[in-house]
A and B are shown apart, each in its own frame.
Chain A
Amino acid sequence: MKQDRATKKTMLLDSRPEAVEQTRQWLLSQLNQFEYGDDDVFAVQLAFQEAFYNAMKHGNKMDAGKKVKIYFVIDPDRIEISMTDNGSGFDPDAVPDCRIGENLYKTEGRGLLLMRSYMDIVEFNEIGNSVHMVRFPRGTKSHASTARK
């Protein structure tokens, strides 16, 4: 049965790549319970993965002792993810455009572009160590024709 009441959950993850898997599985199960469609599931999963990677690698510098704090709000109308690391932050507007010139050949630096492409809202706090992302559904499994994109 489709879930109607919002799910709100806070998690603290170690800065280790394998730490994210259980949370990713939980997120998928929640999206499934709310009957989000494939496009939404793909988009949110990708943005979540990229945000966690950035927090772990660039924010917490792979220091396993440092935590990544994640806050989810999931309801039928939106999927909201906030993620905060213990790093000193960064200026998201200063990140080079990975689609231009020699940047195309760089092996990193595409995560932020993907987060912005797949989520409707991507906002950082002032110092840049916390990101808040929201996606509004394009349709559900049973009502894919209600796509609003």
Chain B
Amino acid sequence: MTQMNPRITVSYEDTATIVTFTDEKILEEKDVRQLEQSLASLIDQAEGIVLVLDFSNVRFMSSAVLGLLIKVSKRVYEHEGRLALCAIGPKIYEIFKITRLTKIFDIYKDADDAVKRLAEPQ
């Protein structure tokens, strides 16, 4: 089953919720706020959510998105869930490396890989 929100698509695989960002560019504060609201609503609806954020469409983003991801990760952990990121292109991955956010996020090559890894016992 796939649901469409303005800037994300949501699909479900096994126990995981896969959120795919649909925009190529995520820049403006209002876009980030909109994403934050959509993600918060998903997380709050599912205690213990296993959430995969898929970046396969994203070609450019600002540091505001990094702030969003920190907020999302806090919310997921408050709800005793698990979070992974996947399909991050090389240019965007460089931003994660520079800011050392590769240390705090689990990043996988694609959604299938992320779902498989999150299904493993912690």
Contact = CB atoms under 8 A, between A and B. Distances in A.
Interface of A: 17-18, 21, 24, 38-39, 42, 45-46, 49-50, 53, 98-99, 104-108, 110-111, 113-114, 117
Residue in A50, A107, A108 whose Cβ sees the most chain B Cβ within 10 Å: A107
A17 B98 CA distance: 25
A107 B67 contact: yes
Would you call the interface of chain A mostly helix, strand, loop, or mixed?
Answer: helix
Contact of B63 (A24, A50, A99): A50
A105 B100 contact: no
B95 A105 contact: no
A46 B104 contact: no
B66 interface: yes
Given A17-B28, A104-B104, A110 B71 contact: no
A114 B27 CA distance: 14
B71 A107 contact: yes
10 contacts: A17-B30, A18-B28, A39-B91, A46-B62, A49-B27, A50-B62, A106-B67, A107-B67, A107-B71, A111-B63
Interface string B50-81: 00000000001011101110110010000000
B60 A46 contact: yes
Nearest to A45: B60
B113 to A, nearest CB: 24
B99 A114 contact: yes
Select the residue from B60, B62, B70, B74 with max chain A CB neighbours within 10 A. B62
B44 interface: no
B99 A99 contact: yes
A110 B29 contact: no
Given A99-B99, A99-B100, A105-B104, A114 B63 contact: yes
A106 B27 CA distance: 19
B70 A107 contact: yes
A54 to B, nearest CB: 10
B99 A113 contact: yes
Nearest to B73: A105
B99 A17 contact: no
Contacts of B103: 104
B60 A42 contact: yes
Contacts of A105: 70, 74, 104
